[in-house]
């Protein structure tokens, strides 16, 4: 759980505990004036259906605005299912399938505050931040509310190519371009340390991803995702992930991820151990 300060009125502090989707909402406690009232909200508040249908906003230069913040839009639980495939359709090579099926929850790298990597997201919001110079848009930063121990993803928009021999990293080396109203992001140079999902779906350092971000309306962001990894998959894979705009009056909140936190200790987790 993480607590966010939502309101301060008449001397009463109203707190919200953001829970994973599916959590049960607790009824507000009755309290005398000036006392604290606590509400449990099952998941991040999302945009209303009416607001979601509004027109897509644009930046001052006419570029479609993809900033968000968004929630969802990746493969947190099961990349096969979350990406729109049927059970067994993910073309894992035999060794990769065996590894996925043998991985244990307590070895999940993310519980040690390590970055989730691409295309994984979490139940908390994220957003795209645009960086401009006199030459125009040069960088896009992908920011996550969980912080991932301070890591963030950089998408270079200044026309540079990929390095010939990139240093393998959690987020890889991403270069982007616009195709009309679609942001195309090409990424190589990943390490093999992150899991695609909590199921433990693996990849190798040969991983190459192509993401095509589009926004059909105000409340929806679509990522048409191509996964190419001849080291772990028998063919390229086409996936689709959909993110939802969070309630417009909210933004990313502060969150600190600490390795060996009390939740992990209490749950008996020993993350980032070698696969067994």
What is the rounded (10 degree) CA torsion for 258, 263, 267, 271? -10
Of 73-77, 156-160, 270-274, the poorest mean pLDDT is in 270-274
What is the distance between the alpha carbons of residues 79 and 90, in angstroms, rounded to a whole number? 9
Tell me which of 76 and 151 has the higher pLDDT: 76
Confidence of residue 198 (pLDDT cuts 50, 70, 90): very high
Cis amide prior to 77 (ω within 30 degrees):
no
| Whole-Å CA distances, 174 to 71, 189, 253 | 21, 9, 26
pLDDT for 21 equals 38
Tell me which of 242 and 8 has the higher pLDDT: 242
- pTM recorded for the entire structure: 0.80
What is the distance between the alpha carbons of residues 269 and 258, in angstroms, rounded to a whole number? 13
Confidence of residue 192 (pLDDT cuts 50, 70, 90): very high
> In DSSP terms, which residues pair with 246 in a beta bridge?
46
What is the distance between the alpha carbons of residues 76 and 264, in angstroms, rounded to a whole number? 18
With contact defined as beta carbons under 8 Å apart, do 9 and 32 qualify? no
Tell me which of 236 and 35 has the higher pLDDT: 236
Q: What is the pLDDT of residues 60-106, one digit of tens each?
A: 888 999 999 999 999 999 999 999 999 999 999 999 999 999 999 88
Tell me which of 83 and 137 has the higher pLDDT: 83
As given in the structure block, the two tokens for residue 235 are 């063919």
pLDDT for 267 equals 53
pLDDT for 24 equals 38
For β-strands 37-41 and 70-72, DSSP reports them as unpaired
pLDDT for 14 equals 31
pLDDT for 272 equals 53
Please list, residue by residue across 227-255, b when 16 or more beta carbons sit within 10 angstroms of its beta carbon and e when fewer do: bebeebbeeebebebebbbbeeebebbee
Q: Give the residue carrying structure tokens 């930063």.
A: 141
Give 162's contacts (C-beta < 8 A, 6+ positions apart).
173, 175, 186, 188, 189
Of 89-98, 176-185, 231-240, 257-266, the poorest mean pLDDT is in 257-266
Q: Would you say residue 13 has pLDDT above 60?
A: no
Q: Would you say residue 175 has pLDDT above 70?
A: yes
Mean pLDDT of the chain: 82
């Amino acid at each position: 759980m993480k607590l966010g300060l939502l309101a301060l009125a008449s001397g009463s502090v109203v707190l919200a505990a953001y829970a994973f989707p599916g959590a049960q909402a607790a009824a507000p406690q009755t309290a005398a004036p000036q006392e604290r009232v606590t509400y449990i909200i099952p998941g991040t508040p999302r945009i209303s259906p009416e607001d979601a249908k509004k027109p897509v906003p644009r930046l001052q230069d006419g570029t479609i605005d993809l900033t968000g913040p968004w929630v969802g839009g990746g493969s947190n639980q099961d990349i096969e299912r979350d990406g729109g495939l049927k059970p067994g359709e993910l073309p894992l090579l035999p060794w990769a399938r065996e590894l996925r099926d043998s991985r244990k929850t307590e070895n999940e790298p993310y519980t040690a505050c390590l970055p989730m990597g691409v295309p994984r997201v979490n139940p908390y919001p994220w957003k795209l931040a645009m960086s401009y110079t006199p030459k125009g848009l040069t960088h896009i930063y992908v920011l996550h509310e969980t912080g991932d121990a301070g890591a963030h993803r950089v998408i270079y928009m200044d026309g540079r190519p990929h390095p010939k021999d990139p240093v393998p990293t959690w987020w890889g080396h991403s270069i982007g371009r616009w195709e009309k109203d679609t942001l195309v992001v090409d990424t190589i140079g990943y390490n093999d340390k992150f899991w695609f999902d909590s199921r433990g779906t693996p990849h190798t350092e040969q991983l190459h991803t192509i993401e095509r971000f589009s926004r059909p309306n105000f409340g929806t962001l679509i990522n048409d995702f191509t996964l190419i990894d001849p080291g772990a998959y028998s063919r390229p894979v086409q996936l689709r992930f959909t993110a939802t705009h969070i309630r417009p009056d909210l933004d990313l909140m502060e969150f600190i991820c600490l390795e060996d936190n009390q939740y992990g200790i209490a749950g008996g987790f020993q993350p980032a151990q070698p696969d067994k």
